[in-house]
Amino acid sequence: MSTMGSSLCAAALLAFLVFSLSLFVNSWHFRDHKGIFTNGTIEDGFVMERNGLVRELNERRKEILPFLISSGVKRLLDESGHFGQHKSFESKHLDVSLENESDVSSGFIRMNKDHIGCDQLVDMKAVHILGSGYTKIVLKVLLSEGQSVALKTVYDQGTDMGRCLEDFKDPVGCYELVSFKLKKEIVLLQRLQHPNIIKLRGHCDDSVGAGGITAILEQGFPLQMIQLLQSPWEERFRVCLGLVRLLHYLSHSPLGSVALLDFQPRQFVMVSGELKLTDLDDASVTEPACQMDQDCILQFPLRNFSLPCSAQGVCEGLNEMRNLYNAYRYFFTYLLPHQAPPALRHLVDQIMNSTGELKGDVNDTLEAFEDMFHLYKSGLHLDNMPSSIIRDYAVMKGMSTSGNMEYRCWPSYNHQGCMLSVHSDKEAAFICNSLPQCTSFSLSDQRTWTGRLLASFQSGFSHLVTDGNSEVYLKKTKASPGTMV
């Protein structure tokens, strides 16, 4: 990476510190010279702005409080049971300090011996920006030992910061306000741990070393739906299966039923082929309160759903319904039906119908996915395939092909050829018979995440070469000794 690129990334990581300090100095310089404390109108305006910011801060504290209390963290409240004053006006730190070990239960990340803190960020090298949003910016960095991680910090040029500065004109207070979303996310990542939730590697709250509050995450790559749509069905199924497992966990989490209020593909990343939730700042662990059934209506652009109001005055199950239908309309609809294995299409149709109409809950959906996964992985869905189909092929073990006459099929694991996953040589033979160009296929020891084999299909090759990890299957009717096949 060029020196200029590194400098730009580093500048993006630390920009908000310079930005905040300069605006802070300028704003107070303006107030001192314009007589803010002698002109009643200007002073009243300032007081109103400050009180408005205090209210916003207290609302953010209330939002985080349930997660902290569930972890045994209660010092946010003062002795009278009220929230403390806005600390940025008193030159003190907020009560919500994630660095204070007295605030952290035994399950929090600070108790993890592998925790990455501020010290490890001192000699980091910025690589590039992974993404940014209204509130936060994410950068890929290399730590001094060469480890690659993602840093998530407050985005000083983001919409949330800009709106706050416009409303309250207090850079320090606005940074404090906007950072609450990131603090909430850190707490949730500490409390909610699942294979399909991004792993929190650590955090840093050091305005000198790393520039304010920073979450240190395992590195993922933004979910690219267009690329995913072009991938084999097995990989798309993996994403959907991981998502359902995640939603099942969120419905029965240690914090209660968790709703993802901003459920969008952009809230997820891919890590080694696995879908992982990375944005939790808009998550809610409270089911909506209600007084009548009409209060429990779940509205979507094209249709609505409703639940009865419980005797406890809560829309029980609404969080789960919201998550499940969003999974259907953003993921299942695009990823699941297209090119599903013929023997599994009836199961796919059942899942699509159940989730699209919310006829079942997340437990039913997970069971349906796991049943389909078992059938696909074990090959039981291929029981009706005739075993005699493999007799049409001559097998040459310990060999591979060279000088291949490649042709493309879609979707393929190899974009320059035709490579598909199969359960056995019998399924590979069935596929080859269905492809007009196919005269042979090869099986190697390469396997997919399900344990299925990868088969390469060819329309011909020039000669065979020795390969102890490969087998070549040649159609007997296409074989012609002494000529290229």
Torsion of CA 89, 92, 98, 103, to 10 degrees: -110
Give the model's pLDDT for residue 176: 86
Mark whether 262 is an active-site residue: yes
Decide: helix, strand or coil at residue 251: helix
- pTM metric for this prediction: 0.81
Q: For residue 252, how far is the Cα from the chain centroid?
A: 19
| One-letter identity of residue 238 | R
What are the DSSP E strand ranges found in 218-354?
Answer: 221-222, 259-260, 268-271, 274-277, 283-284, 297-299, 304-306
User: Which whole-number Å values give the CA distances from 476 to 205, 298, 399, 480, 481, in the listed order?
Assistant: 69, 60, 17, 9, 11
- How many C-beta atoms surround the C-beta of residue 226 within 10 A? 6
Q: How far is residue 188's CA from residue 200's CA, in Å, rounded to a whole number?
A: 10
Give the model's pLDDT for residue 170: 85
Structure token pair of residue 143: 């730590």
Of 160, 262, 282, 295, the active-site residue reads 262
- Contact predicate 122/206, CB 8 Å: no
- Contact predicate 384/343, CB 8 Å: yes
User: Which whole-number Å values give the CA distances from 184 to 194, 201, 321, 442, in the listed order?
Assistant: 17, 16, 23, 52
Q: What is the pLDDT along the chain (485 residues), one digit of tens a residue?
A: 444 344 334 444 444 333 433 333 334 333 443 444 444 554 555 566 678 888 888 888 887 777 766 554 443 333 333 333 333 333 233 333 444 333 433 334 344 567 888 888 888 888 899 888 888 899 999 988 888 999 999 888 888 889 888 888 888 888 888 888 899 999 999 999 999 999 999 998 865 444 578 999 999 999 999 999 999 999 999 999 999 999 999 999 999 999 999 999 999 999 999 999 999 988 998 899 999 999 999 999 989 999 999 999 999 999 999 999 999 999 999 999 999 999 999 999 999 999 999 999 999 999 999 999 999 999 999 988 888 899 999 999 999 988 877 788 888 998 888 999 999 999 999 999 998 899 999 999 999 999 999 999 999 888 899 998 999 999 986 544 433 44
String of DSSP letters for 97-142: -TT-GGGS-TTSGGG-TT-B-GGGGTT-EEEEEEEE-SSEEEEEEE
Give long-range contacts, CB 8 A cutoff, 24+ apart: 191-195.
Answer: 191/67, 191/70, 191/71, 191/107, 191/253, 191/254, 191/255, 192/249, 192/250, 192/253, 192/254, 192/255, 192/258, 192/280, 194/245, 194/246, 194/249, 195/242, 195/245, 195/274, 195/276
- How many C-beta atoms surround the C-beta of residue 185 within 10 A? 25
Give the model's pLDDT for residue 21: 35
Give the model's pLDDT for residue 405: 78
Structure token pair of residue 455: 């088969």
Q: How far is residue 17's CA from residue 22's CA, in Å, rounded to a whole number?
A: 9
